[in-house]
Structure 1
Amino acid sequence: MEPAIFITFLVFLPLLFILISRRSSKRLPPGSLGFPIIGQSLSMLRAMKANKAEEWLQERVRKYGPISKLNLFGTPTVFLHGPAANKFIYTCSEKLMANKQPASIRRIIGERNILELSGDDHRRVRAALVSFLKPETLKQYVGRIDEEIRFHLKNHWYGNNEIKVMPLMKSLTFNVICSLLFGIERGPRRDTLVKLFEEAMEGVLSVPINFPFTVFNGSLKASEKIKSIIMELIHDKREKLEKNGVSSNEDLIMSLLSMKDETSDSHVLSDDEIVDNIFVVMVAGHDTTSILLTFLIKLLADNPTVYNLVLKEQEEISRGKALGELLAWEDLAKMKYTWKVAMESLRINPPVFCSFRTVLQDIEYGEYIIPKGWQVIWASCMTHMDENIYSEPTKFNPLRLESQATSPPPYSFMAFGGGPRMCPGYEFARIETLTMIHNLVNAFAWKLSLKDNFFGRNPMPVFHQGLPVQIQLKKSSDAIQIYQF
């Protein structure tokens, strides 16, 4: 090699390397991955427990823009923000992103649940769940849900001057799930299951290091016991199905066990898939609906005008019923204003704050590359409080979604997800919420016991004091209905 060429090569090679490195680094979103494994996990969890997670993420948006990199729960991560990000994620090809959760969630709930699966497996499992959770099936269970709610009010509200709303709502929703979806009678098995479930949920968002005495370790142990109980239920119900030929729609587990592929005559879901997806239904049905009901009770106490409009709608429905008559599907269709109140509650206080996906191949998003193997996190509900989308976003206004003029743009209201990942339990949540509010406003008046009711996220909202309220039974025939069954 000529000396001049060699010297030129030595001079420009480092420069070329620097230019290539800068070009490559610029293709990654801005931000820092922090310390190995831990990254920003503990910082985010602290913010969630202090109910400052949205502020924590907004600070990232101010610092880096709507896309940035970080490290969460042992995995390099990209955070995306805004309606465009919501649309991108909910409509992204399954070849680019998989619905894979952080290791802590995956190991506690299971590998074969609907939150983990993609492609044909996701469509197969989703179709199996929807076949039971669709309106045509659920409409026949409205009376049973109403009965379970009246039993709850009779045993936990009646005769008390003060109650703590959040633990009671969690008890109610868990009992409804056990009764309607799992077919578990009241007794020791239910009591054991609810305690184990609460222990399992403690570690769903945690650094997945399985050392003795850690929260994650305790959650894993509780999860194993829960799955053992569910597997026992599956065996009992399969035996009952084979012996007695019980209706496949008796409960969700029975429905899933009954499903067979028309072409191969094989079962649509394996036992492991039923176990993992029953676990997911427990999470969705227990936590999300109980949180919605808790915030609804608080918001109705804070907004007397809204409470009176809900009461008026529910009293009108009661006047068309005989004393003690259970609600029917047709009654729920008349609760239009009440459901608008529920949707506005979900806008302001969404139970689920953030979600995750795993990148299957390099994705170009804007001017950046999201590398294969990384995970994506987004908090779709952050658009709910965007003043550029919603006028006075902190104001509770159930009619804001009523007209076309005030309705938000697409992918700005994400209470139940979007696209092919829309929550399959939407209708079940609607029935349970409307039925509870109907019974509650007709039978009780209440006011908040505390001026300040603080809550944090763990990972879902938890009121520090349980939201105590002072309650009073109304002296009317409508109030008596909840005890006439």
Structure 2
Amino acid sequence: MLTTSTRSSSTFCCREMSYEAGQEWPMMTCLVLLLIFIAKFIYGKKKKNGRCRMPPGRRGWPLVGDSFNWYNAVSSSHPPRFVEQQIKRFGTIFSCSLFGKWAVVSADPIFNRFVMQNEGKLFQSSYPKSFRDLVGKNGVITLQGHHHRRLHAISSNLMRFDKLRFHFLNDIQLIMIQTLNNLQHNQVILLQDVCRKVAINQMANQLLGVSSECEINEMAQLFSDFVDGCLSLPINFPGFTYHTAMKAREKIISKIKKTIDKHRQPAGSAQVSNGVLGRLLEEESLPDETISDFIINLLFAGNETTAKTMLFAVFFLNQCPRALNQLLEEQQGLTSNEMLTWQDYKAMPFTQCVIDETLRIGGIAIWLMREAKEDVTYQDYVIPKGCFVVPFLSAVHLDENLYHDALTFNPWRWMDPEIQEKRSWRNSPFYSPFGGGARFCPGAELARLQIALFLHYFLIKYRWSQLKEDRMSFFPSARLVNGFQIRLMRRHEHMKSSD
């Protein structure tokens, strides 16, 4: 039995022990943290020396990482300030976190080419769910491996250089003339809408054989809804962009399937055979589902690349009267025939410079999304399996170290003999508006032909005045935020009024 003094002594001892324990916990915590820091330092150094570390970067916010910074940067500026800031801080290859997952972002042209050339080997394409759902699981954009190579070869064959000359040249011009002739003198338009209609008219005609004005207008609206949903939240509920886009996809697929059925009827095959779909059905053995996704992929890729580059070319020319006048002089100096010949198209050197410069500053493929298939060693870095890899193509195109006064529209730069090596857009690491490697855009030559012919007919027929200030945005898709509102004036009407 404890006496009072014993109990007091015991209580004192307990309090003393409690006090000492309370002092030990912070000390132990500090010791553990110090050990962790030392371990990370040693391990990090080991990884560095052993070529086993990620590129430098920051983790960002919990769960979402730098996703919001990325979104704000891409949607509000070009080049994105967030990317510029990270390059200045960490170098041309850096890491960041997108929705909590590590991503390696590159503005290094050599590394970007390394990624594109190793498509299917070390890296594979990776897209958000909304994009995969809309373009379809059987499309050339989303397929991997053997199936992708086969469809890519088919699309490349359908749009070979010789076929542009014999199958596309006159068709494109007829559609261009028909569409632009519908515009009126003194009419106020949103050129963005007109370019979208021109592009979808061409693609629907070339791919499906569709030429009805009503059907073209419907397809233009469907593709507007379709494109808006490609980078949206995948919430399939009325009122959400993704839901509207999926409904648009269903209607487009339905139209493609009706065209396929029409082609298979003896009386209808002749009407469809002139289009790419007709040749595809005749020359290839593919399931209908694959054909439908294949066509919607070509419609999407052709419409986005062509329409937006047409728009941006006029937008840039509007800001550079000297370039506009030189381009007009070149186009007016071509044949006096109503229709241009292949020789006329090959006699447009300055037009090609304008197209190259437009694609450099306002290229639609500003970045690519890839995923490492295995641990990939590059220089002093190891990119772990499953990590996102983002070759940022426009960061290379707008690099002041590669292009003097890079943010200025200057088509004459492409006439400089010293820059000709960079201009090879099929294999140059410094200029890749159509991607590269196994996923190089098979419709690149077709797109350039369409853009050149559009510039010819638009400039020959019209003058214009801009009515509203505008700027480029690249999220959720490339566009001018106000649609480029202009007032058109037919050139011959202007000449009459001047007389």
What TM-score results when the alignment is normalised by the length of structure 2?
0.82
State yes or no: 1:236 paired with 2:262.
yes
Letter in 1 for 2:431: F
Matching of residues 13-412 of structure 1 within 5 Å: 22=44, 27-34=53-60, 38-52=64-78, 54-72=80-98, 76-92=102-118, 94-140=120-166, 141-156=168-183, 158-208=184-234, 210=236, 213-237=239-263, 239-240=264-265, 246=270, 250-260=274-284, 267=285, 269-319=286-336, 321=337, 325-407=338-420, 409=422, 410-412=428-430
Q: Do 2:256 and 2:292's aligned partners in 1 also have CA atoms closer than 8 Å?
A: yes
Which protein is richer in helix relative to its size? 2
Q: Do 2:209 and 2:272's aligned partners in 1 also have CA atoms closer than 8 Å?
A: no
The CA deviation at 1:90 is 1.9
Structure exhibiting the larger radius of gyration computed from Cα positions: 2
Q: Deviations over 1:284-313 (max 9, x none)?
A: 221221111112112222222222221222
Residues 20, 226 of structure 1: alpha-carbon distance in 2 compared, 3 angstrom cutoff: farther
Q: Do 1:38 and 1:207's aligned partners in 2 also have CA atoms closer than 8 Å?
A: no
Residues 19, 64 of structure 1: alpha-carbon distance in 2 compared, 3 angstrom cutoff: closer
Q: Do 2:225 and 2:244's aligned partners in 1 also have CA atoms closer than 8 Å?
A: yes
The CA deviation at 1:343 is 0.9
Partner of 2:431: 413
Aligned length: 454
Q: Deviations over 1:417-445 (max 9, x none)?
A: 22333211112112211111111222222
State yes or no: 1:474 paired with 2:487.
no
- Measure, in 1, the Cα distance between the counterparts of 2:365 and 2:477: 6
How many percent of aligned residue pairs carry the same amino acid? 27
- Measure, in 1, the Cα distance between the counterparts of 2:121 and 2:356: 33
The CA deviation at 1:21 is 5.7
Q: Do 1:38 and 1:74's aligned partners in 2 also have CA atoms closer than 8 Å?
A: yes
Residues 14, 471 of structure 1: alpha-carbon distance in 2 compared, 3 angstrom cutoff: closer
- Measure, in 2, the Cα distance between the counterparts of 1:99 and 1:303: 37
State yes or no: 1:423 paired with 2:449.
no
Q: Deviations over 1:168-189 (max 9, x none)?
A: 1111111111112221231544
Q: Do 1:69 and 1:77's aligned partners in 2 also have CA atoms closer than 8 Å?
A: yes
Letter in 1 for 2:320: N
Q: Deviations over 1:52-85 (max 9, x none)?
A: 5522211222233223333436754221221122
Letter in 2 for 1:329: W
Q: Deviations over 1:140-199 (max 9, x none)?
A: 22122111111111112x233432211111111111111122212315443333222222
Letter in 1 for 2:282: S
Partner of 1:456: 473
The CA deviation at 1:19 is 6.4
Q: Deviations over 1:318-367 (max 9, x none)?
A: 43x2xxx3223222111121111111111121122111112111111232
Look up the SS of the partner of 1:401 in the other structure.
Answer: helix
Q: Say which of 465, 482, 489 aligns to 1:447.
A: 465
- Measure, in 1, the Cα distance between the counterparts of 2:314 and 2:208: 27
What TM-score results when the alignment is normalised by the length of structure 1?
0.85
Q: Deviations over 1:231-262 (max 9, x none)?
A: 3322322x14x6666498511111221224xx
Residues 105, 35 of structure 1: alpha-carbon distance in 2 compared, 3 angstrom cutoff: farther
Residues 178, 433 of structure 1: alpha-carbon distance in 2 compared, 3 angstrom cutoff: same
Residues 472, 243 of structure 1: alpha-carbon distance in 2 compared, 3 angstrom cutoff: closer
Look up the SS of the partner of 1:376 in the other structure.
Answer: strand
Look up the SS of the partner of 1:317 in the other structure.
Answer: coil
- Measure, in 2, the Cα distance between the counterparts of 1:371 and 1:209: 31
Greater CA drift, 243-252 or 115-124: 243-252
Letter in 2 for 1:216: Y
Greater CA drift, 337-346 or 18-27: 18-27
Look up the SS of the partner of 1:42 in the other structure.
Answer: helix
